[in-house]
Chain A
Amino acid sequence: MMNSKPRRIVILFGLGIVLVLLPVIITDTRWHLTMTLICLSAVVALGLYLIAILGLVSFAQAAFYGFGSYTVAILLLKLQIPFWIAWVFGGVLSALIAGVIGMLVLRMKGAYFFLVTLALNQFMVWIFHSWTRVTGGYDGLRSIPPPALLNSPGKVYYLSLGLLVITFTYVITILNSRFGPVLRATTENEVMVQSYGISPFRIRMTNWIACCFFTGLAGGISAILIRSTFPTMFDMMVSLRYLVFLVFGGIASPIGPVIGTAILSVLSEFLTPIKEFEPLVFGSVLVLTLIFLPGGLLGLFRKKEA
Chain B
Amino acid sequence: MLLKTEYLSKSFGGLSAVRDLDLTVSKREIVGLIGPNGAGKTTVLNLISGFLRPTKGKIVFEGQDITGLQGQKIASKGIARTFQIKNTFSNLSVLENIVLALNLTTSASIRRALASIVMHRVKQEEKAMISRAMSILSDIRLEELANTKAGVLPLAQEKFLGLMMAVVEKPKLLLLDEPVAGMNREEMVRFMTFVVEYAQDMNMGVLLVEHTMAAIMNYCTRVVVLNYGEQIACGTPKEIRSNPNVQKAYLGERI
Binding site for B on A (CB under 8 A): 170, 173-174, 177-179, 181-182, 184-185, 188-189, 191-199, 206-207, 210
Contact = CB atoms under 8 A, between A and B. Distances in A.
Given A182-B100, A194-B51, A196-B101, A189 B89 contact: yes
Given A173-B113, A178-B113, A210-B110, A185 B100 contact: yes
Nearest to B79: A195
Nearest to A210: B110
Given A181-B99, A188-B91, A195-B71, 12 more contacts: A170-B114, A173-B114, A178-B99, A178-B100, A181-B89, A188-B92, A193-B100, A195-B75, A196-B104, A196-B165, A198-B100, A199-B72
Interface of B: 49, 51, 70-72, 75-76, 80-81, 83, 86-87, 89-92, 96-97, 99-101, 103-104, 107-110, 112-114, 116-117, 126, 129, 165-166
Contacts of A189: 86, 89
B73 to A, nearest CB: 8
Contact of A192 (B89, B99, B114): B89
A198 B107 CA distance: 8
B86 A192 contact: yes
Contacts of B108: 177-179, 181-182, 198
Contacts of A178: 99-100, 108, 112-113, 126, 129
A197 B78 CA distance: 10
Nearest to B77: A197
A188 B89 CA distance: 7
A196 B75 CA distance: 6
Contact of B71 (A173, A181, A182, A194): A194
A222 to B, nearest CB: 26
Contacts of A184: 89, 91-92
A180 to B, nearest CB: 8
B92 A181 contact: yes
* Closest CB pairs A-B (n = 7): A177-B113, A194-B71, A178-B108, A181-B96, A179-B113, A197-B75, A185-B89
A198 B49 contact: no
Contacts of A188: 89-92
A182 B99 CA distance: 10
A174 B91 CA distance: 17
B103 A198 contact: yes
A196 B51 contact: no
A170 B112 CA distance: 13
Contacts of B86: 189, 192
22 contacts: A170-B114, A174-B110, A177-B113, A178-B99, A178-B108, A179-B112, A181-B97, A184-B91, A185-B91, A188-B92, A191-B83, A192-B87, A194-B51, A194-B70, A194-B71, A195-B49, A195-B72, A195-B75, A196-B103, A197-B104, A198-B107, A198-B108
A15 to B, nearest CB: 21
Contacts of B80: 195
A196 B71 CA distance: 9
A39 B165 CA distance: 42
B89 A195 contact: no
Given A189-B89, A192-B83, A197 B113 contact: no
A173 B117 contact: yes
A270 B113 CA distance: 41
Contacts of A185: 89, 91-92, 100
Given A188-B89, A195-B49, A174 B113 contact: yes
A255 to B, nearest CB: 20
A92 B190 CA distance: 55
Contact of A206 (B87, B101, B110): B110
A170 B113 CA distance: 10
Contacts of A210: 110
Contacts of A170: 114
Nearest to A186: B89
A194 B81 CA distance: 11
A191 B51 contact: yes
Which one of A173, A181, A188, A206 has the highest number of Cβ atoms from chain B below 10 Å of its Cβ? Answer: A181
Contacts of A206: 109-110
Contacts of A198: 72, 100, 103, 107-108
Nearest to A198: B103
A181 B100 contact: yes
A170 B117 CA distance: 11
B155 to A, nearest CB: 17
A170 B92 CA distance: 21
A170 B71 CA distance: 30
B75 A194 contact: yes
B187 to A, nearest CB: 22
Nearest to B129: A178
Contacts of A179: 108-110, 112-113
A177 B111 CA distance: 11
Given A188-B89, A188-B90, A198-B72, A177 B100 contact: no
B116 A177 contact: yes
A303 to B, nearest CB: 19
A162 to B, nearest CB: 18
